[in-house]
A and B are shown apart, each in its own frame.
Chain A
Amino acid sequence: MSDVVLETRGLVKHFPINKGIVFRTKAGAVRAVDGVDLQLRRGETLGIVGESGCGKSTLAKLLVGLEKPTHGEIRVRGEDMVRLGGPALRRARRNIQMVMQDPYTSLNPRMTVGDIIGEPFAIHPDAAPPYGKARAVQELLEVVGLNPDHINRYPHQFSGGQRQRIGIARALALRPEIIVCDEPVSALDVSIQAQIINLLEHLQKELGLAYIFIAHDLSVVRHISDRVAVMYLGKIVETGNHAAIYEQPTHPYTQALLSAVPVPDPRLRGRRDHIMLEGDVPSPADPPSGCRFRTRCWKAQPACADHEPLLEIRQRSPHPSACHFAEIRDVMRRF
């Protein structure tokens, strides 16, 4: 498996909850990411879906090194980033870049586009192209479909979609193999979303990029992903290639999530398999014992509270699913 560019093993991030002002004591922890194993191959897109609070954005931050994991390994091309430091870490980080969700707050309003896209070269001088920063930035602008003459403009002079292109150009500057996209289109209008998704797919083909594509919009993820991982309360509950997840989901949470997605086709009204979940997601500071989904699950048995189901291939689940009672149910079925 030499084409694995990114791998995590037992990745955990707990944020401590402190009590007291003078004598601070640890009162507990928010288990934002609680044991995530994933693999990403060269040139592929791994979609990560889940509802707010499931830990997908924390996972993104861990992968690019904006947060330090509590436990676990993040291997980029076999090297464990968590254990690296200094110049070695700096070099390893070049290979994994990020596109942020909000194109309005993720660009510094006082920097020109040229400075924003060129900043990675300032931080990594040895990766800067020999022919000069300005030309490199102009090339990048052209690659993402912006006018290279706009190099001296400021972010507020661009629309939301154009700003997201700037964010993508910045991520491309150091020629990474991996880009982590955290909700890259959710702040954009539908007509602009399509433009950005097409750009990401085009760049992937041209440059052989691997994407971690985090989103809550399941139809966007379905469109762009080769494989999909579904997260719930800090854990991956089901993973497989896109057809397996969307057409043969075996975990009850995946099934409920898919059945709740509104489909833009009125003819399906009343004909779809609707699973209505009760209540809200429990707090990640105090997740249920055993299977974390059991409090909202219609299949839950007493055993679910005692034994935590592992993410593995099961008798009735041809792809890894973390449910004792995993079974295929095609909730997206068309008539």
Chain B
Amino acid sequence: MTDITAQMDALPGMDPRAPLLHVDDLHVEFRTRDGVARAVNGVNLWLNPGETLAVLGESGCGKSVTAQAIMGILDTPPGHVTAGRVLYRGVDLLRLPENERRKVRANRIAMIFQDALSALNPVYTVGFQLAELFRVHRGASRREAKRRAVDLLDQVRIPDARRRVDDYPHQFSGGMRQRVMIAMALALDPEVLIADEPTTALDVTVQAQIMSLLADLQRQRNMGLILITHDMGVVADVADRIAVMYAGKVVEDAPVYDIYAHPAHAYTKALLESIPRLDHKGQPLNVIRGLPPALTDIPSGCAFHPRCAYAREICRLEPPPSYQIAPQRVTSCHFVREVLGV
């Protein structure tokens, strides 16, 4: 295991004091027959050890594509990273040769997906798939690898792990499968875990189990967690910081308490107002008019302006700059003051 640390230290640009993960001005486009879809247009994100960053947005906002680009699992073609850097402790992952990047993946940055059934291989037992990680990445013997697989299943609280290790994915329920996915992601002790809609396919009572498991494991390991989701309830429960995405950009990045109490971007505000709340019973919900833009045809200026209640001429003409409105709070809205009501 020491050689993994040594290999990581030898990566070009490695600086243990650099931020754990820093996505800098990332651009991703998909070249399709219908034109170029600009899925990610200059995303900036930071993540510190032990921190939970929620990336919040509706479908097509680029949140999953950002995660895929960080992991280096973008479908290429049609997807292409056209600009930007993904820095892990100062190492630009986008410039690493594939064999080096592969070592970072799983060893340092791991990911879990929404649909655990299709992410697991149906023809191997979960024990085999877990053990494979130790055999390939750590050169463990079969017996040692299996012992560790059982150990991992125990850690993700799968009852009777010693017996379940020989079961196939279809023999597990949805919640249990997601636990297996988490076990697999955590097998090699990553420093960063990216969870892409980990509970969207699950029922609420199971969702609560999985979220509490993730929070416990994160605390034990002081791991950085990027939680990609569209669910503003889940985010409020677990996130430290939230990055709200719209049309391939982070429009607001703020600590969780601030964003719910005083959203500083017109989109965040409208989104929060459109969810059913207790005090709105009997009244129509606040609605964001219109539709999210097609990525092949993103509106000029601020991409949200055709749907925005605050929009004026400038929003159509000029993309809003990033305003630092407080330490750790960034927003890109021409009318921050009006939105905040100050």
Contact = CB atoms under 8 A, between A and B. Distances in A.
Interface of A: 51-52, 159, 161, 189-195, 197-198, 201-202, 216, 218-220, 222-224, 242, 256-257, 259-269, 274, 276-277, 280-281
Contacts, number: 116
B276 A220 contact: yes
Given A161-B291, A218-B204, A223-B276, A276 B209 contact: yes
Contacts of A192: 291
The list of the 8 closest CB pairs from A to B, nearest first, reads A262-B233, A223-B276, A51-B203, A191-B288, A260-B208, A189-B58, A194-B285, A194-B274
B280 A223 contact: yes
A190 B271 contact: yes
Contacts of A277: 205, 208-209
Contacts of B274: 190-191, 193-194
Interface in B97-137: none
Given A242-B281, A261-B204, A266-B236, 10 more contacts: A51-B206, A189-B230, A191-B271, A194-B276, A195-B287, A197-B285, A219-B275, A222-B278, A266-B256, A277-B205
A260 B291 contact: no
25 contacts: A51-B205, A159-B291, A189-B58, A189-B292, A190-B58, A190-B275, A191-B58, A191-B270, A191-B271, A191-B274, A192-B291, A194-B287, A222-B278, A256-B205, A260-B208, A262-B204, A262-B207, A264-B232, A264-B235, A264-B275, A266-B237, A266-B239, A266-B256, A280-B173, A280-B206
A205 B232 CA distance: 29
A293 B206 CA distance: 15
Given A190-B275, A194-B287, A201-B284, A266 B260 contact: yes
Contact of B233 (A195, A197, A261): A261
A250 B285 CA distance: 29
Interface in B194-221: 203-209, 211-212
Contacts of B230: 189-190
B176 interface: yes
Contacts of A202: 284
B286 interface: yes
B205 A260 contact: yes
Counting chain B CB atoms within 10 Å of each CB, the highest count among A192, A197, A202 belongs to: A192
Interface string B47-61: 000000000001100
Contacts of B288: 191, 194
A216 B58 contact: no
Contacts of A224: 276
Contacts of A216: 203-204
Contacts of B239: 266
Given A161-B291, A192-B291, A264 B204 contact: no
B236 to A, nearest CB: 4
Contacts of A52: 203
Nearest to B289: A195
Contact of B234 (A189, A197, A262): A262
B233 A264 contact: yes
B175 interface: yes
